[in-house]
A = this chain, B = another copy of it.
């Protein structure tokens, strides 16, 4: 009964395809990405991809969801309860900076789906954005319970936190800054957010 092993094999292949797909999609975008090239890089035949995914679009969406899961896990860990709000914000910033560096393919694909113009994926990307905002919102509510902040519009605040963190790192990367340089901005950005949401953002 090699069922379990086969199942593991299958899942491993699935992951390998998605990893190579992320690389290809990140480099070329959805349309220019070549299924054949993805298959070659994954070390499998062209037709084999269709044993794991319905079609190119399905592969992209599954990959996107997989990426989002990983990123959400990392973010949740960064926002874990220990520490002050400032510490949690700094951890969030560094977590994003790390994702952008270590899993830059995934980071780019996710950003592209979110802010790119390919409407075919906007619905899914929006769902993922909501998840991110929700996780940050949860943390902010805890902080409010603790009396660390006082906000009337948690969602708007959460969006602001996410936007600033994410976009800062994205822009910095576009401008060619290294992870080291970027990470040094964790403190200042957290400080900025803290002061900002302390009283003003209603």
Q: What residues of chain A have their CB less than 8 Å away from a CB belonging to chain B? A: 25-32, 108-109, 111-112, 114-119, 122, 125-126, 129-130, 133, 156, 159-160, 162-164, 166-168, 170-172, 174-176, 185, 187-189, 191-193, 195-198, 200-202
User: Taking CB as reference atom, which chain B residue is nearest A126?
Assistant: B174
Q: Is the contact region of chain A dominated by helix, strand, or loop, or is it mixed? A: helix
How far does the Cβ of A197 sit from chain B's closest Cβ, in whole Å?
Answer: 7
How far does the Cβ of A5 sit from chain B's closest Cβ, in whole Å?
Answer: 20
Question: In the bound complex, do residue A125 and residue B174 qualify as a contact, i.e. CB atoms below 8 Å apart?
Answer: yes
Q: Which residues of B contact A111 (CB under 8 A)?
A: 115, 117
Beyond A116-B117, A117-B116, A195-B200, whether A159 also contacts B188 by CB under 8 A is no
Q: Which residues of B contact A108 (CB under 8 A)?
A: 117
